[in-house]
Chain A
């Protein structure tokens, strides 16, 4: 049976595409699937450092597309998570080095060798985006609850629709306390504006930065709320479509409620 190619995209940069890609990929591998994560951000690669695999790069996706090496030579095997592979981007080439037909051919090959191929798209809607989308069966759009990310997500959703792909949305970096205070768009607000199906909701989580500092997979840290949310997104992608979407909440202690009432800072 052929695997699926899923593109993770956002339009706007810095909303958590790379985190989402690495977490969902790792979580799918933990579910027992054979997963290839492909960094499509040619010239500005980052997945390798986030995943802690930067010292093991020999070949990259550009080499694969140009036929300079085999997929198996470019795919770096993660030693902590079984069945997880990274095909890194090239750091020296520029974005125009890849052709859509070349990427499509490689995507079709990857589909035969892996259960899931996750494409981490670069920010923007130019050539790099086109290349990331060309071989995809499914798409995940990542946005944060702020006006610029939501607006860019809308644009990207439109572009995906025009390619007959119906994307699903991940709202990332939700801060429940601020949502409650009315300072931050809630996921309902975002969905009202975008009219798209939800893939999952991910809370703001300090563990994300910490795990990227050391290059360790977030999904292996049981106390990480974001890691937990990404694991559930992966399970939903992997056949458990009915797994409920958890809305991030925050606990207010009695003391902070009291002090807020009297106008003290907490």
Chain B
């Protein structure tokens, strides 16, 4: 009780709050850790799906996991050469 009051007066943060925040972040990042085979498997799958609709240059595409402070995003970047015509 008293120490909580004391912290309020001095504006000091409890170290356990830091611990909690750091844990929450690291657990999220731990789960997002991809190994190389997962990433290359994912890339193969994405290419095969996209190739059904577009003609793409398979050498100039990039797949990245981008991490900002708040969000983590999967970024897939590829130039489109041509739209495939749907077969009748």
Contacts and interface: CB of A to CB of B under 8 A. Distances in A.
A182 B4 contact: yes
A186 B16 contact: yes
Contact of B7 (A147, A158, A182, A184): A182
B20 A181 contact: no
B10 interface: no
A62 B65 CA distance: 46
Nearest to B26: A151
B22 interface: yes
Contacts of A154: 27, 30
A257 B5 CA distance: 13
A97 interface: no
Contacts of A179: 16
A5 interface: no
B20 to A, nearest CB: 5
A180 B20 contact: no
A179 B14 CA distance: 10
Interface string A135-179: 000000000001100110011001000000000000000000001
A147 B4 contact: no
B24 interface: yes
Given A180-B1, A257-B2, A260-B2, A185 B16 contact: yes
Given A155-B30, A185-B16, A193-B27, A180 B3 contact: yes
B30 A193 contact: no
A158 B33 CA distance: 14
Contacts of A181: 3, 14
B23 interface: yes
B17 interface: yes
Given A151-B26, A154-B27, A154-B30, A185 B7 contact: no
B88 interface: no
B3 A192 contact: no
Given A151-B27, A151-B30, A193-B27, A182 B2 contact: no
10 contacts: A147-B19, A150-B23, A151-B30, A180-B1, A182-B3, A182-B7, A185-B20, A189-B16, A189-B19, A193-B24
User: Nearest 9 A-B pairs (CB), nearest first?
Assistant: A182-B14, A181-B3, A189-B20, A185-B16, A193-B23, A154-B27, A182-B16, A147-B19, A147-B23
Interface of B: 1-4, 7, 14-17, 19-20, 22-24, 26-27, 30-31
Given A182-B15, A184-B16, 11 more contacts: A146-B19, A151-B27, A158-B31, A180-B3, A181-B14, A182-B7, A182-B17, A185-B19, A189-B16, A193-B23, A261-B2
